[in-house]
Amino acid sequence: MFSRRCTLIGGAALACAAALPATAAPRRQGAPLVIGHRGASALRPEHTIGSYAKAIEDGADFIEPDLVATKDGVLVARHENNIAETTDVAAHPQFASRRTQKTIDGQAVTGWFTEDFTLAELKQLRARERLTGMRTQSHSYDGAFQIVTFEEIVDFAAAEAAARGRPIGLIPEIKHGTYFAGIGLPLEPRLLAMIGLGGYLRRAPLVIQSFEVGNLKALRPKVAGFANVQLMQLIEAPQNAPYDLVAAGWKGTYAQMLTPEGLAEIATYADWLAPQVRAYIPLDAAGRLGASTGLAAAAQRAGLLAGTWTFRPENSFLAADFRDNAGPAARNPTGSIAEIRRYLAEGLDGFFTDDPKLGREAVKQFEG
């Protein structure tokens, strides 16, 4: 599993990408795909109908629901099962006693957790912007939107696709798969059951993503008959590792998964590779763009589509090359577009962005 013979130098710089021989060609057609990260999360509270609606309005090809489970087994969209930062749960005295500490993927986490609430109870809460000190437009919608189920998101995307005359892709992420399986609420069979019901999930572009490996490998044969479904292997920081493999005793890291042998193995079960943005072009000590790692080309030689996460429009998230003087929390659309264009030059097939309008403009300028 994921050979150690090639390593990563300097954190995310690929040492031996050129050694990988060409195999299957990537399968994307046309311009790079714009993926609304949690919707349009720079402008609306994440994972809400408002956020997804804004992403679609602004030209996103895909919208992303991160999936977790409720106590009664319903898939809902939250970035984490801990809802302390993204909802007003702390303001509801009837739920005060449910604040607790749990170990999630090996980390101690304190808060309120979706698996301790029924869907009806979660519907009493309202979403809020997660980031403080920035994103004032998103904060203006705090309290306006419910937590939504995956089924509600699918229905909304289907209606929007019909109204706009274009497909709206869905790219659900399976969050904390090992944890949820361990408490008797596995996410994967619930997702498969929804696909099996037919309807929009059987004809819409659908990409299932995970930071874990075992669930994607298990899903591969189960979705093989669905021409509209692809799988995406997410990659976290090089020194970390997929939690399901850690729990099974593996001593490797995500870095090993980005070697030629690692990419070749990923290509046996996934269609997409999606590491952090800086895995393609890391930053130097001054926070400016360094040299390309060649990872996008290496992934494509392995037969994988090259995706990445996440472009954000505020100065604090941009490489120093693209910041302006408005302060770290300020939106910088011009800088964000320029940064995305630079990464598109690496040959990306798609990318996650908190502001799909800026992502669409970057693709337009790049393609033009």
Give the CB-side neighbour count of residue 351, counting CA atoms within 13 A: 31
Q: Tell me, rounded to whole angstroms, the distance of Cα 44 from its chain centroid.
A: 17
In angstroms, the CA 351 to CA 24 distance is 21
Asked whether the CA dihedral 90, 94, 100, 105 is positive or negative, the reply is: negative
| pLDDT tens track for 8-65 | 333 333 433 333 333 333 456 689 999 999 999 999 999 999 999 999 999 999 999 9
| pLDDT tens track for 107-161 | 999 999 999 999 999 999 999 999 999 999 999 999 999 999 999 999 999 999 9
Delineate the domains of the chain, giving CATH numbers in brackets: 8-79+148-367 (3.20.20.190)
- Residue in this structure with the two tokens 């609606």, named with its chain if needed: 53
Q: How confident is the model at residue 368 (pLDDT cuts 50, 70, 90)?
A: confident
In angstroms, the CA 28 to CA 2 distance is 26
Q: What is the mean pLDDT of the chain?
A: 93
Task: Supply 229's token pair.
Answer: 């479904």
Beta bridge partners of 330: none
Specify whether the CB–CB gap between 191 and 210 falls below 8 A: no
In angstroms, the CA 308 to CA 353 distance is 9
In angstroms, the CA 67 to CA 273 distance is 19
- Residue in this structure with the two tokens 């992420």, named with its chain if needed: 173
Q: For position 198, what pLDDT does the model report?
A: 86
pLDDT exceeds 90 at position 209: yes
Query: What is the arithmetic mean of pLDDT over 316-338?
Result: 98
In angstroms, the CA 59 to CA 356 distance is 6
Q: For position 9, what pLDDT does the model report?
A: 30
Q: What is the DSSP letter of 73?
A: S
